[in-house]
Amino acid sequence: MPNKITLDALKDLQASLSYLSKQTLPVQTRAAIQTAQQSLTQLEGSLEPDSEHGPLADLYRVSQCLGASVNLDDVLIQVMDAVIQLTGAEHGFLTLINTDSGNLNLRTARNSKQETLQRKDMKISRTVVQSVIESGKGIVTNDAQNDPRFAGQESVISYAMCSILCAPLLTRGTIIGAICLNKCAKSGIFTNDDLDLVNAFASLAAAANENDRLYQAVQQANETTAQFVSIVTHELRIPLTSIKGYTDLLRQGAVGSVNEQQANFLNVIRNNAERMAALISDLSDISRIERGKLKLDPVFLPLHGYVDETINSLVHNLEEKSQTLETDVPATLPRIYADPNRLVQVLTNLINNAWKYTPEGGQIAVNASRKDDFVRVEIIDNGIGISEEDQAKLFTQFFRSEVQAVREQTGWGLGLNVAKRLVEFMGGEIGISSTLGEGSTFWFTLPTTDPVSKT
């Protein structure tokens, strides 16, 4: 016995649409979904209790597709197949208005066999569609040959159209297109209930189109931003390299001896140049990751050697604050599969973060252990710690806590975000546990096998 649509299924449908309306979507998209919910309410009374393929079942399926897919064509095909099946239409098409030219563009056309039709095979009455777009109201005619609104129109006559149903697609009260269905006399006629049904599906199609438009706009904006960042970082590197180079020459006395005050000034210039270089590097990495341009060269490598290398490069910083750093990274650990340069970058960011927020005389530890098919690395400090509220935002771009002890340290709020992206890009995970005023433990995992070869 096939499963029937139950009250639970109806609640699931309502919950699905409600969930979509509460997502981080623009107001206009949520409004389109709300219209679909209102149309759904109108249909509930006509649903037969024992129908397993009724309007609500199809509306539910399409709403799930809307929430799960960013491919507009997939959603529109689902919409057309549903309305053709439920109304008994022979053919149907969905057309959208080109926002630049104002012309009607055929987006998808389907038949009762769930086949996509080519334009030459589609019976399209532009007169009917134009009438719906101009009035904003759906049309049902079951005698198109004699209907005074359409009789005499070339397309109606040449295609021998009988029953036509056409419903508008609306977004924020604006007509963006239409759904049109055709049926010959022997297939029966369309009803106003059919129009109500198609209106409900048209609301979902309009919401899908709006989602797609906004998604494309966001993608374009991201690409434009990434390109801008790429150009800026490239152009900044050239003068910054010169500043660092000439500063080093002055510090070394290449143009004469340097007194203590002058040396201090030059050190300030050099340190700030290093900060700018780090910022440029982080921005460049983020840009490449977001554009899918970051290339990794992963190999199987021993973790302990790269931990030692990273610590050696930071010894001077640790000595300045009289901090102690202990390691427990057994050489017997399995080799990890990672990009050597990016591994050092992650370790540097995390150890450097522990150094910055641990007071003078504090303690830092780097430990590693095996965990299934991964090696887990922990960077532990007894520094200032992080509140639960700040932990939730810690890995977001440009986030810096309002705590005074944090604000006293230099930084851009990018190092941890870059570390997170790199770890995840290499197939691992990253996280933190911390108690305010007691210290923090940053951890990350990296695989001991090639993730690609396993798939």
CA distances to 243, 249, 250, 254, 260 from 257, rounded to whole Å, are 19, 11, 9, 8, 10
DSSP string for residues in 62-103: HHHHHHH---HHHHHHHHHHHHHHHHT-SEEEEEEE-TTT--
Q: Going along 66-219, which residue ranges are E strands?
A: 91-97, 104-111, 139-141, 163-171, 174-183
Beta bridge partner(s), residue 95: 106, 178
Comparing 101 with 228, the larger pLDDT belongs to 101
State the Cα–Cα distance between residues 145 and 190, nearest whole angstrom: 15
**pLDDT of res. 49:** 44
**Which tokens belong to 198?**
């198609």
What's the one-letter identity of residue 223? Answer: E
State the Cα–Cα distance between residues 390 and 399, nearest whole angstrom: 9
Q: What is the CA radius of gyration of the chain?
A: 32
Contact residues for 341 (Cβ-Cβ < 8 A; gap 6+): 297
pLDDT, tens digit (0-9, with 9 covering 90-100), for 274-326:
777 777 777 778 777 777 778 888 999 999 999 999 999 889 889 989 999 99
**Which tokens belong to 176?**
């963006």
**Which tokens belong to 129?**
């569609």
Of residues 57, 47, 38, 346, the one with CA closest to residue 202: 38
Location of structure tokens 């080093």: 248
Residue 272, pLDDT > 70, answer yes
Mean pLDDT (the chain) is 80
Residue 241, pLDDT > 50, answer yes
pLDDT, tens digit (0-9, with 9 covering 90-100), for 49-87:
444 455 555 555 555 555 555 578 888 888 888 888 888
Contact residues for 213 (Cβ-Cβ < 8 A; gap 6+): none
Of residues 98, 103, 107, 121, the one with CA closest to residue 182: 121
* The pairing of beta strand 363-371 with beta strand 324-328: parallel
Query: CB–CB of 394/434 below 8 Å?
Result: no
Location of structure tokens 């300030």: 268
**Which tokens belong to 11?**
């609640």
Work out the pLDDT band at 7, boundaries 50, 70, 90. Answer: very low
In this prediction the pTM is 0.53
State the Cα–Cα distance between residues 401 and 452, nearest whole angstrom: 38
Residue 376, pLDDT > 90, answer yes
Q: Going along 266-373, which residue ranges are E strands?
A: 299-301, 324-328, 336-338, 363-371
State the Cα–Cα distance between residues 57 and 54, nearest whole angstrom: 5
DSSP string for residues in 305-336: HHHHHHHHHHHHHHHHTT-EEEEE--TTSPPE
pLDDT, tens digit (0-9, with 9 covering 90-100), for 310-324:
999 889 889 989 999
| 116 secondary structure, DSSP code | B
| Residue count (the chain) | 455
